[in-house]
C-alpha cells in the first residue's frame, strides 16, 4: 500500500505579534473571527471577565462601548482591531465571542400539570394566576395582536417588547445600553396598527403556554394568565452570529425592567445550542448565573433540548488502541467539538483524517495525532492531500482551556473532490480518532450511527465507537445549577381540529417521556434535566399568518376555533414550568432562584412512567405538580408536611461526625419503599438510605459532608413526606 501523505500547514494566531499567552484567553469562535474577518474596524460583541474598571477604560480607549456588568463578567462592543491589545491586559482573564447558532426547541396542559387547582385556589388562601409577576419570553418573536395577550379591556399585557432584529431605530427607540434593536412600550403596542408576526409561531406558542389568558376562545389558557409580559424577539438569522451574546443581553434587559417595576420575574428560554462544554462554566452561562443571583425574584427556566433520540454525543475512555468515529459530509462544513477535564485531556491524542468507503475502503490522509492540551489558544489550519496530490479538504482546529476543562474544536471544509454532489459525498467519510488514556465527550451532528460494515469485510470496525443518545442536552446556561432545565412528556394524543374533525395519533402514550426529550447528565456528571412537564402535542397560540396558512393546507394541525395550533418539543414543556414558577412567586414574591427550584423539585410527581428511582437523567426529579408546589412543599423551614401519621426527626442537629434519624410511618397507608435522602443546596443527592421497616432509628456518618446546610427528606415511592434542614458543622 502506498504511504499516505498529509501536507500540513499550521497558522498560529500571531497577528500583529500577539503572543500565545494573550490568544489563550480567546475561545475558538473569537479566534476564527480574528483570522477570517477582512474588516478590522467591524465591531463585535464580546464578554470579558476581569476587573471592571480596567475593562471599561481599555474598551473605551480602543473605540468600543462598555454595555454592562454581570458580576465580574462584562458585556462590551469593540472593533476587531482592538481585541489583541485588550487581550494583552494582565487584569483580563477571558474574552469570548460565540458564533454557535441558537435554534428553537419545540387545554389539557393545565390539567396534566395540576394547574387548575391553583387557579381556583382549592385549599389555598386564594387563587393564583401570576398577578404581580413578570413573565419574560426570549424567543423568535410574538404576535402581540393575538387576543390571549390582551386584557379584558383590549389593552396589551406586554409592558415592553425589545425587537433585537429591527434595524429601523433611532436614539429614542433604541434599547439602552445595548446599542441595537428597537424597543416598544405597552402604549406603543396598543396604538400600533401593524400585525406583528415572527417567521414562525414558535415564540407566540411558547408565550401562550406560559401566560396566555384564553381570551380568544375562553379556553387554551396558559399557566400564569394574569402575569404581565416582557418579550425579547431575537434575530436567529443575524449575520454576525452573536446569538449567545444577544441572549445574555435579553436576560439582563428583562430583569432590569422587572426590577424597575418592582416585580419578580421568570424568564423562559426555549432556544439553545448543542455545542459547548456542557458544564455551565462558559462565560455566557456564568453571566446569566450572576444576573439570576443578583437579587431575589430572578428565575430562569429553559428547555432541555429535542435531541433525545438523536445520536449527537460521543463519549468514552480512550485507550492505547486507536479508536475512531466516522463523520459524513454534506454540502456544508462538518463540526465536532470534544471536551475533557484538565487532568486527563492532555493524556489523549486526537487526529482527523479522510477515508474512502465506496467502492473500496481506503484511508486517504490524516493529520498527525496531537495531545488534547497542545497549544491552547492557537488556531491551526491544515490541508489534506491524497497520494496523487488531490486536495481533500481544509481543517481548522483549536484547543481552548477554561475553568478546569479543555475543549478541542475541529471545523472541516471538504474539497470538491469529496463534496461535489450527493453521490460523491456518500463515498467519503471523515475520521475522528483518539488514542491514549482518559475520558472525553464530543458532540457533532455529522457522526455515522448505522449502516456500518461488518468486521469480516472491514476488520478495523472493531475499533469503531458509535455515537449515542446520552448527554444530548443543549449546552451553556442549560447546564447551570441556577437555571431550571425542563424535559418533556406526552400531553395528549387527540383533539378537535379546525374542521371540527378529530386529529388522533394512537402511537402517543399520554404521560410517557417524549422520545425527543434530551437526556443528561451534564459533562461533569450533574443530573439534568431538573424536571419534566407536558411538551408533546400541546395546543397553544399561533400567529395569524401561520394559522391561515395551516388551515389552507394542513387543517389537522390547527385546533377548533382557528386561533391555536399543535406543537411539540421541550420548547413547549419549559414555559409550563416557567408559568408555575410565576404562580409560586405571586405567593412568595421575595423568593430567590434556589427556593423556587427547591419547591419545584421537591414536589415533583412520580408515576408508572417515571418509576421510583428518581432523580435520573431522563425525568430529573419527576413530573412538575403546580398544586403541590404552590400549596406548600417548600424546603428550607424546620419541617414540611402536615400529616399526623408521620413522625420524623434528627438529633443532634447541628451535627459534625454523625447524626441519628428517627422515623415512624406505621400509621401511614402510603408507606411503600420508604427511604431517607440527603441532598445539597443545588438538589444533588449526597446520601440515600433505604428503610427496611416502617419505624425505627438510623444512624448516619456525615464526616464526608462539607460544612453547610443540607436537606433531609423522608420519602416513599410516591411522594416526599417530610423534610428537615440539617446543619453540618466542624
Q: Rounded CA gap, 418 and 331, in Å?
A: 10
569-599 burial, b at 16+ Cβ within 10 Å, e below that, comes to bbbbbbbbbbbbbbbbbbbbeebbbbbbbbb
Give which of 426, 474, 662, 666 is closest to 571, Cα–Cα.
474
Judge residue 218's burial from the number of C-beta atoms within 10 Å of its C-beta, 0-12 exposed, 13-18 middle, 19 or more buried.
Answer: exposed
Q: Rounded CA gap, 517 and 271, in Å?
A: 14
3-state secondary structure of 609: coil
Residue whose C-alpha cell is 461535489: 420
Q: What angle do CA 613, 618, 624 make, to 5 degrees?
A: 80
Q: Give the model's confidence band at 240: pLDDT under 50 very low, under 70 low, under 90 confident, else very high.
A: low
Domain residue spans of the chain: 18-96, 103-308+473-602, 316-463, 642-728
Whether 103-308+473-602 shares its CATH topology with 642-728 is answered no
| Segment among 9-23, 267-281, 513-527, 694-708 with least mean pLDDT | 9-23
Let me know: does 226 contact 131? Beta carbons within 8 Å.
yes
Q: What is the DSSP string of 491-506?
A: --SEEEBTTS-EEE-T
Phi, psi of 717 (to 5 degrees): -70, -10
Q: For residue range 136-186, what is the model confidence (pLDDT) as tens digits?
A: 999 988 999 889 999 989 999 999 999 998 877 677 778 888 888 899 999
Which three cell numbers mark 549?
Answer: 396558512
Residue whose C-alpha cell is 421510583: 612
Q: What is the pLDDT of residue 3?
A: 31
Domain 18-96: give its CATH superfamily. Peptidase S8 propeptide/proteinase inhibitor I9 (3.30.70.80)
Q: Give the other-Cβ count within 10 Å of 322's Cβ.
A: 16
Give which of 332, 137, 167 is closest to 239, Cα–Cα.
167
Which three cell numbers mark 269?
Answer: 428560554
Average pLDDT, rounded, for the chain: 85
Let me know: does 581 contact 484? Beta carbons within 8 Å.
yes
Judge residue 266's burial from the number of C-beta atoms within 10 Å of its C-beta, 0-12 exposed, 13-18 middle, 19 or more buried.
Answer: buried
Let me know: does 264 contact 589? Beta carbons within 8 Å.
yes
Q: Give the model's confidence band at 19: pLDDT under 50 very low, under 70 low, under 90 confident, else very high.
A: very low
Q: Rounded CA gap, 509 and 498, in Å?
A: 23
For the domain covering 642-728, report its CATH number: 2.60.40.1930
Q: Rounded CA gap, 335 and 396, in Å?
A: 10
Q: For residue range 69-89, what is the model confidence (pLDDT) as tens digits?
A: 888 888 888 888 888 888 888
| Segment among 388-402, 619-633, 712-726 with least mean pLDDT | 712-726
Q: Rounded CA gap, 96 and 87, in Å?
A: 11
Q: Rounded CA gap, 593 and 319, in Å?
A: 42
Which three cell numbers mark 145?
Answer: 395582536
Q: Rounded CA gap, 695 and 661, in Å?
A: 11
Q: How far is CA 682 from the centre of its chain?
A: 17
| Per CATH, domain 316-463 is 2.115.10 | no
Phi, psi of 58 (to 5 degrees): -70, -40
Q: What is the DSSP string of 248-312?
A: HHHHHHHHHHHHHHT--EEEEE-EE-S-S-SSS-SHHHHHHHHHHHTSTTEEEEEE--S-TTS--
Q: Give the other-Cβ count within 10 Å of 630's Cβ.
A: 25
**Strand ranges across the sheet with 695-701:** 647-651, 658-664, 695-701
Q: Give the model's confidence band at 24: pLDDT under 50 very low, under 70 low, under 90 confident, else very high.
A: confident
Helix (H) or strand (E) holding 352: strand 348-356
Give which of 244, 243, 279, 248 is closest to 406, Cα–Cα.
279
Let me know: does 515 contact 533? Beta carbons within 8 Å.
no
Q: Rounded CA gap, 532 and 520, in Å?
A: 13
More confident residue, 181 or 106: 181
Q: Give the model's confidence band at 199: pLDDT under 50 very low, under 70 low, under 90 confident, else very high.
A: low
Handedness of CA 188, 194, 195, 200 (dihedral sign): negative
Could you tell me which CATH class the domain 103-308+473-602 is placed in? Answer: alpha beta
Which range, 20-29, 568-577, 626-635, has the best average confidence (pLDDT)? 568-577
State the DSSP code for 380. Answer: E
Q: Rounded CA gap, 420 and 704, in Å?
A: 60
pTM: 0.78
Amino acid at each position: 500500500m502506498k504511504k499516505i501523505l498529509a501536507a500540513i500547514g499550521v497558522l498560529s494566531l500571531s497577528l500583529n505579534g500577539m503572543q500565545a499567552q494573550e490568544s489563550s484567553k480567546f475561545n475558538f469562535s473569537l479566534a476564527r473571527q480574528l483570522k477570517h474577518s477582512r474588516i478590522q474596524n467591524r465591531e463585535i460583541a464580546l464578554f470579558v471577565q476581569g476587573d471592571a474598571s480596567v475593562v471599561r477604560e481599555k474598551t473605551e480607549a480602543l473605540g468600543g462601548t462598555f454595555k454592562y456588568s454581570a458580576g465580574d463578567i462584562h458585556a462590551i462592543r469593540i472593533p476587531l482591531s482592538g481585541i489583541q491589545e485588550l487581550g494583552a491586559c494582565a487584569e483580563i482573564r477571558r474574552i469570548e465571542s460565540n458564533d454557535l447558532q441558537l435554534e428553537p426547541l419545540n387545554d389539557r396542559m393545565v390539567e396534566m400539570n395540576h394547574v387548575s387547582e391553583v387557579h381556583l385556589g382549592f385549599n389555598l388562601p386564594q387563587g393564583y394566576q401570576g398577578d404581580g409577576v413578570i413573565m419574560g419570553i426570549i424567543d423568535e418573536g410574538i404576535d402581540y395582536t393575538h387576543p390571549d395577550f390582551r386584557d379584558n379591556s383590549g389593552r396589551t399585557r406586554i409592558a415592553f417588547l425589545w425587537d433585537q432584529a429591527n434595524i429601523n431605530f433611532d436614539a429614542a427607540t433604541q434599547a439602552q445600553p445595548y446599542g441595537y434593536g428597537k424597543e416598544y412600550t405597552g402604549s406603543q403596542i396598543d396604538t400600533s396598527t401593524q400585525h406583528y408576526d415572527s417567521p414562525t409561531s414558535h415564540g407566540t406558542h411558547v408565550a401562550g403556554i406560559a401566560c396566555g389568558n384564553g381570551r380568544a376562545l375562553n379556553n387554551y389558557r396558559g399557566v400564569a394568565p394574569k402575569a404581565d409580559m416582557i418579550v425579547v424577539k431575537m434575530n436567529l438569522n443575524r449575520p454576525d452570529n452573536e446569538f449567545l451574546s444577544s441572549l445574555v443581553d435579553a436576560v439582563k434587559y428583562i430583569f432590569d425592567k422587572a426590577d424597575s417595576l418592582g416585580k419578580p420575574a421568570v424568564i423562559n428560554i426555549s432556544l439553545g445550542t448543542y455545542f459547548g462544554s456542557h458544564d455551565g462554566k462558559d462565560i455566557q452561562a456564568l453571566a446569566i448565573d450572576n444576573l439570576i443571583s443578583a437579587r431575589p425574584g430572578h428565575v430562569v427556566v429553559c428547555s432541555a433540548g429535542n435531541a433525545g433520540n438523536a445520536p449527537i454525543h460521543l463519549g468514552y475512555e480512550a485507550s492505547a488502541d486507536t479508536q475512531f468515529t466516522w463523520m459524513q459530509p454534506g454540502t456544508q462544513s462538518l463540526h465536532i467539538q470534544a471536551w475533557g477535564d484538565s487532568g486527563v485531556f492532555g493524556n489523549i491524542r486526537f487526529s482527523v483524517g479522510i477515508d474512502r468507503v465506496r467502492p473500496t475502503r481506503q484511508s486517504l490522509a490524516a493529520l498527525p495525532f496531537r495531545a488534547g492540551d497542545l497549544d491552547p489558544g492557537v488556531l491551526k489550519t491544515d490541508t489534506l492531500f491524497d497520494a496523487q496530490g488531490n486536495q481533500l479538504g481544509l481543517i481548522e482546529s483549536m484547543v481552548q482551556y477554561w475553568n478546569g476543562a479543555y475543549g478541542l474544536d475541529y471545523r472541516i471544509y471538504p474539497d470538491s473532490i469529496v463534496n461535489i454532489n450527493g453521490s460523491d459525498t456518500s463515498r467519503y467519510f471523515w475520521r475522528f480518532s483518539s488514542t491514549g488514556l482518559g475520558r472525553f465527550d464530543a458532540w457533532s451532528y455529522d457522526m455515522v450511527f448505522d449502516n456500518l460494515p461488518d468486521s469480516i469485510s472491514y476488520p478495523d470496525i472493531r475499533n469503531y465507537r458509535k455515537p449515542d443518545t446520552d448527554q444530548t442536552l443543549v449546552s451553556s446556561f442549560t447546564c447551570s445549577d441556577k437555571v431550571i432545565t425542563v424535559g418533556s412528556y406526552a400531553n395528549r394524543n387527540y383533539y378537535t381540529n379546525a374542521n371540527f374533525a378529530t386529529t388522533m395519533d394512537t402511537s402517543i402514550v399520554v404521560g410517557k417521556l417524549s422520545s425527543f426529550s434530551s437526556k443528561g447528565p451534564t459533562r461533569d456528571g450533574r443530573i439534568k434535566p431538573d424536571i419534566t412537564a407536558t411538551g408533546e402535542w400541546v395546543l397553544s397560540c399561533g400567529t395569524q399568518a401561520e394559522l391561515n396558512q395551516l388551515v389552507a393546507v394542513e387543517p389537522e394541525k390547527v385546533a377548533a376555533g382557528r386561533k391555536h395550533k399543535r406543537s411539540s418539543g421541550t420548547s413547549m414543556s419549559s414555559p409550563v414550568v416557567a408559568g408555575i414558577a410565576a404562580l409560586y412567586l405571586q405567593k412568595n414574591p421575595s423568593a430567590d432562584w434556589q427556593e423556587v427550584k427547591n419547591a419545584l423539585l421537591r414536589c415533583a410527581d412520580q408515576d408508572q412512567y417515571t418509576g421510583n428511582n428518581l432523580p435520573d437523567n431522563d425525568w430529573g426529579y419527576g413530573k412538575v405538580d403546580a398544586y403541590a408546589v404552590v400549596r406548600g412543599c417548600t424546603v428550607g423551614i424546620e419541617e414540611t408536611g402536615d400529616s399526623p401519621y408521620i413522625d420524623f426527626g434528627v438529633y443532634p442537629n447541628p451535627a459534625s461526625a454523625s447524626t441519628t434519624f428517627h422515623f415512624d410511618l406505621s400509621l401511614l397507608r402510603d408507606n411503600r419503599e420508604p427511604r431517607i435522602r440527603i441532598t445539597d443546596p443545588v438538589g444533588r443527592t449526597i446520601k440515600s438510605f433505604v428503610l427496611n421497616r416502617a419505624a425505627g432509628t438510623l444512624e448516619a456518618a456525615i464526616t464526608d459532608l462539607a460544612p453547610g446546610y443540607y436537606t433531609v427528606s423522608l420519602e416513599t415511592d410516591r411522594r416526599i413526606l417530610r423534610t428537615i434542614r440539617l446543619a453540618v458543622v466542624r
